[in-house]
Each structure stands twice: as C-alpha cells, then as structure tokens.
Amino acid sequence: MQAAIISGRKQIEARDYPEPELRAGGAIVDLTFCGICGTDVHAFYSGDPYPPGLCGHEWTGRIREAADDVENLAPGDRVSVGILPPCGGCVSCRAGLGAWCQLALYSLGGGDPRGSAHGAFAPRIAASASRLVRIPDAISDAAAAMIEPATVAYHGVRLGRLRVGDFAVVQGAGPIGLFALQWVRLAGAREVVVVEPSPSRARLARELGATTTCLPSEIAEIVADGTGGLGADAVVECAGRPETIQAAVDLVRRGGTVTLIGLSDRDATIRPGIWLMKEVTVRCSIAYEQRDFGPVVDMIADGRVRADALHSRTVGLSRLAEAMTALGAGSANDVKILVDPNA
C-alpha cells in the first residue's frame, strides 16, 4: 500500500508501506477524508524533518476491523482520530499530571504503539482503539475530518477561561481561528473581533459569528473604541506568526488574558516590560486532552458549531503538493482543503 509523506522542501513522495497490521487493542480504519494541517504546510515549505506519522493527522473513516479485545468499536463504525488516554505509568502521570502524559504526547507527534508508521494520506491506517472517537450520523464525513482541529481550538479557548461578557479578539481566520471564534462566542463573549487580512476568510468569520472583522492595521483603534481605551479582556492568537504574539499583549487590558494557539515556526521578539506592567496572563495551548473531544463532537452534531462551512474543496493524493502550495501561498479561495485518499 502507498502512503504520501512530506520528504523534503516542497516534496511529496508516495512510499510503499505494508498493509496496516491489526494488534491487540487496535483497529484498522478505511480512511474517508484527511485534512491538511498548518503544520503539514509548514513542513512542506521548510523541508525540516517531519515524522511520517504526522503526515496527515486530521482524519476520519470507517472501522474495517477491530481486535478481539476492543469492546466499544465494531466494523462499520464511523470514527475520527483523537489522542491516547493518559497511560497512568509515566513520570507525568505518576505526578498527577495526566494532561501531559508522555505516551499521549507521543501520539501527538505521530507515534502510536498500535498504529501505522505513516499518516492518513493513505487509503487505510492502523490505530489504537482508545484514541478513536465515534462519530454520530448527524455529523458529515467532511465535518468529521475537522473534529481534530476543532478540538485544538476548543482546548485553547477552554484554557483561556473566557468569561461571559468579555470583549475578545481572535487573531487569524484560518481553520483554527474560525473554530476559536465559535468557541469564544459559546463561552459568552459579548464582542468577538477577528483580525484577518483575507476578505474571503473575514467574510466567513462574520458568517460564523464574529461581531466584526478588520485588518491588522485597524485592530488597535477598534479595541480602543470598543472598550473605552481599556483594552480587550481576552486575545486568542491563532495566526501563528512571530509578530502577532507581542501584538496580542499590546491589545489586551491590564490583567487580561492572552491564549497562544497558533504555532510559529520562527522566533518572536517580545517586550517583557509591557507584559510585566500589564500583569497579563499568557496561556499556551498545544493540541488537546482526550476529555475535550466529547463536547466538541456534541456541539458539532447539534449545530452549535459549524464545521462544514470551513470546507473549501477536496483533492486526491495526486494533487496534495498543489494543495499545500496553495495553502502556503495564502490562497484567497481556500480555508480547509480535505484529501480523499481514494480519489
């Protein structure tokens, strides 16, 4: 079986892998869709070493086969990918820090003791049953492929501890930012201003509940006017750019909260004096915990959060490099491109 991996700068390579192996506690999934993540695009453009298991880590499909000791899943079940539960035995778990379980973090890096050596840019994949998330019929296949990034945004907003009535700013209207603004709204923010230079993404942000959208050059004035000069209660950084980190702190009020969700692949310059003078709380969020998936699935299923609206188009594996090039170049027409590995 062939799976596509990122093998170098602007290089996608189809490599031969053995058919997925069913192990105790595991399952084999026939893949329906796999999303292209921003980290995939960063790796494609940078050429930095990138684990094959990370090449396609936002996926959904149907169980083809489950091991005899798997009781909660059966062939035909629709599933999405999640994270391994805390192992209970690593140094973090023994210290009562299961949220940072080393085995769970290993699965975030593309590792899975019962999984395939490749990611989901492939027709089939093996995975630990304990990290699979059952998908209800109310969620489409396209939306199911976006549960993983939706959960990334949910986890970050949850850590940010927004309060009812907050004036909030979301930096960036890529997939993570568009999900984040919906979670911020559901958290009770009275105003959600989204900073986004792309007109099409800004328009979608307004459709999904943003109070207003603006260019980066306009946000300082909008926050000042909207808060009487106080500053935003909360800023959720989803752009993943070095310059937006200090900009987030500049926008927040004294005692406010900045949540960093976007991942910059370059160093950022900050002004520590501003951070100290404002006594700002900065929360950093990487991915999610297993307990985050249940609420995300429920709220996508009942329509409180819209995922299908982010899906701009679908490509086959033969057009994967073209799609990553478009996303990296900031295509005005693309938000979330899904890959159909069977096309």
CB 315 within 8 A of CB 339: yes
Residue 133 shares a structural domain with residue 157: no
Residue 320 shares a structural domain with residue 266: no
Burial of 55 (0-12, 13-18, 19+ CB in 10 A): buried
How sure is the predictor about 195, in pLDDT bands with cuts at 50, 70 and 90? very high
Positive or negative: CA dihedral 316, 318, 324, 327: negative
Q: What is the mean pLDDT of residues 43-70?
A: 95
Q: What does the pLDDT look like over 57-83, one tens digit per residue? A: 999 999 999 999 999 999 999 999 999
Q: Is the pLDDT of residue 263 over 90?
A: no
What percentage of the chain has pLDDT greater than the value 70? 100
Closest CA to 30 of 46, 43, 19, 42: 19
Closest CA to 129 of 22, 35, 54, 30: 22
- CATH number for the domain harbouring residue 214: 3.40.50.720
Q: Structural domain of residue 255, as residue ranges?
A: 151-284
User: Can you tell me whether residue 305 is helix, strand or coil?
Assistant: coil
What percentage of the chain has pLDDT greater than the value 90? 93
User: Can you tell me whether residue 163 is helix, strand or coil?
Assistant: coil
Residue 54 shares a structural domain with residue 162: no
| DSSP per position, 256-285 | EEEEE-S--SS-----HHHHHHHT-EEEE-
User: Can you tell me whether residue 32 is helix, strand or coil?
Assistant: strand
CB 339 within 8 A of CB 35: yes
Q: How many structural domains are present in the chain?
A: 2
Cβ neighbours of residue 166 closer than 8 Å, sequence gap 6 or more: 187, 188, 189, 190, 191, 233, 234
CB 258 within 8 A of CB 170: no
CB 239 within 8 A of CB 258: no
Q: Is the pLDDT of residue 331 over 80?
A: no
How sure is the predictor about 108, in pLDDT bands with cuts at 50, 70 and 90? confident
Last residue of a domain, one of 284, 315, 332: 284
Residue 223 shares a structural domain with residue 177: yes
Residue 248 sits at the vertex; the CA angle it makes with 304 and 323, to the nearest 5 degrees, is: 60
Residue 142 shares a structural domain with residue 161: no
Q: Is the pLDDT of residue 106 over 90?
A: no
pLDDT given at position 128: 97
319 part of a folded domain: yes
- CATH number for the domain harbouring residue 64: 3.90.180.10
298 part of a folded domain: no
Q: Is the pLDDT of residue 228 over 90?
A: yes
Residue 141 shares a structural domain with residue 7: yes
Q: What is the mean pLDDT of residues 199-218?
A: 97
296 part of a folded domain: no
